[in-house]
Every structure is written in C-alpha cells, then in structure tokens.
Amino acid sequence: MVAAGGDGTISGVVNAIEDFSKVKFAFLPIGSIPMAR
C-alpha cells in the first residue's frame, strides 16, 4: 500500500489497516507545508 498526503492521510490509512502483518506500507509526505523559503 502506498499513501501520499499529510498528517490526516497517514492517520486515516494507519487506523484503517486491520492486520499490519499482511501489509507493506509506504508513505510519501506531500502535505501543504511551504518548502520554498
């Protein structure tokens, strides 16, 4: 499973996984934080 998003996305995905032993998980952090300063 691959999820891309911010804090809310990771929270929702992790809470929805019922059996972690059967899931490979990757998270791509692409939230709305301003990176260019």
Residue 37, in any domain of the structure: no
pLDDT band at 12 (very low <50, low <70, confident <90, very high): very high
pTM value surpassing 0.75: no
pLDDT at site 35:
62
pLDDT band at 36 (very low <50, low <70, confident <90, very high): low
For residues 25 and 3, the answer to whether their CB atoms sit within 8 Å is yes
Domain that holds residue 26: 1-32
Domain count, the chain: 1
d(Cα 10, Cα 27) in Å, to the nearest integer? Answer: 7
Residue 8, in any domain of the structure: yes
Residue 1, class by beta-carbon neighbours within 10 Å (0-12 exposed, 13-18 middle, 19+ buried)? exposed
- For residue 37, pLDDT over 60 is answered with no
Give long-range contacts, CB 8 A cutoff, 24+ apart: 23-26. Answer: 25/1, 26/1, 26/2
